Amino acid sequence: MRTFIRRVLDRLFTSIAGLSILLMAAALVLVLGPIIVKGASAVFFCGTVEFRRMQVHEFNSGDTEAVKAETQRCQEARKPAWELIELFSRGIDTDRLEGQVKDAIREYDKQMRNRVEAGSLGAQEARNLRAKARRLRDFMLDALETTDKATALRRLKDVLDSPDRAALQATAGEELFRLAEQYKATVETVDLTRRDDYAAALAETRTLLTRLLGPAPGSAPKAALAQFRYGATRWDQALKLRDELLWREKYVPDQPGKPLKKTRVRRADEFANTKLAALFPMIDQRLEKMLNPRSTFYWRFFTDDSTPGHFFGGVGPEAIGTLMLTAIAMLLAVPVGVMTAAYLIECMRESLALRVLRTCINTLAGVPSIVFGLFGLAFFVLWLLPKLSLSNGPSALAGAMTLGMLVLPIIIRASEEALRAVPPSYREASLALGAGGLRTFVKVSLPAAMPGILTGIILAMSRAAGETAPILFTAAVAVGPWPGSPLKPCRALSYASYDMAVSDKLAAQVPHNQAGMVLTLVVLVLLLNIVAIVIRSRLTRKLRGT
């Protein structure tokens, strides 16, 4: 009976252990799965011509001539869309038209004065011509100011059919008639009473089209921020912007006394019976020709710098900064941690002082990381490094020293357990052969405990690479040069991920970059762990003589 119960319990505990492993694996898949999928989209995606153009201009990457030719072909496909926008805006933006009309007449007045000074035109005749030009200007301004279609057309007819038109031919005043013809084409197709509504809708449409295709050719000045210099660099972004351009959300009454209901309406309906209505089917049908999407493997994501806000580019400086912080932290913490563990095992006997010391070490291992960050700010950044004339502010060295303090208890506890696990017979045999205590520790105990020590180092290294709070005040910056001197602040993957998570709406437009940064950190930690595990396995085989 006892044997049967023991077998049942063994199988039960085995099943529970297996279930626990499955639950842990499922948790890892749930946590890492979305990160891997979204992060991979920062490297594998469908890139547009805007992406390739951005790579050439911002990062000097790609075939310049091929991208230039491809851009030219895409601009030809986009040209009709921009022409529709420009043509329609000329009739809607009356403030702009008024300015152009006034500028044309001022230039005409200047030409008349120049002709009088040159003696080719009499002063009285010049005054008469200028008066006629101003009269036509007033007709044109009246047409621009009125919202009555009949009045506007009558005033435009006064301008276009004026007997004085011949007098303004081959002068700057001729521009007045060109503007009148353009505005007449708009008046015939637009409800002037809705001109303000058209202007607001046009501004929104132009903004969306700029985000989709990039700035219109010839538009100036060049945008200060890189994200405003290019259109949609990824096809998935382009499809979302196309949907926003073709449809808009609008709140409409559903039932009397009920809250407004959000619905989607065609943006083309806002411009029905106008020339701009042709823009929307054009974008829907010809977007691929305008952006030329194709599959892209952006391996330079891991080496490129980034533009402000991490809108474009990669994580090269952040990866280098993370490696530098982790390497310096481990170089500082590992020797101190192993020597401390060796002292506790080899030199101290069990006593109250040793128990208190171990309690302090265990307590330090559980202290929140932000506390270490504040300690590093107060001790390393504000006191120690300035005292040594090494740095007067945050630096990679201060951050690495803070991370070293953070992982030191982990290394001490792991090393202590590894040294304690070395069989006493190893030490006794060495001492019996005449070796001293130090030689026994260096040649026998330490090599035998090294696999266990490396396990602690792996755990400490993983934590150091992924911590944000300790470097928040001591080392990390969001924008800066490539990491170089340890005495300067640097960028890091963990801090950059935090910065993107709490920054403005700019980061929300590029979630693939944020996920790619997190995935890079996970992969980097895994690679570091794999290297350490390989070293540990080789040491273990060497100790076993295999």
pLDDT at res. 404: 94
pLDDT at res. 44: 94
CB contact at 8 A, 488 and 317: no
- pLDDT tens-digit readout, 71-124: 999 999 999 999 888 888 877 778 888 888 889 888 988 888 888 888 888 888
Out of 1.10.10.60, 3.30.1050.10, 3.30.70.120, 1.10.3720.10, which CATH number does the structure's domain 316-544 have? 1.10.3720.10
What proportion of the chain, given as a percentage, has pLDDT over 90?
A: 35
Q: Is the pLDDT of residue 28 over 90?
A: no
pLDDT at res. 546: 56
Confidence at 56, pLDDT banded by 50, 70, 90? very high
d(CA 216, CA 82): 7
Tell which residue, 201, 121, 184, 179, has the closest CA to residue 150: 184
Q: Fill in the DSSP letter of residue 227.
A: G
CA distances to 11, 67, 252, 289, 292 from 73, rounded to whole Å, are 70, 10, 42, 8, 9
Q: Fill in the DSSP letter of residue 313.
A: B
pLDDT at res. 167: 79
| 535 compared with 239, residue with greater pLDDT | 239
Q: Is the pLDDT of residue 504 over 70?
A: no
Confidence at 431, pLDDT banded by 50, 70, 90? confident
Tell which residue, 423, 455, 457, has the closest CA to residue 440: 423
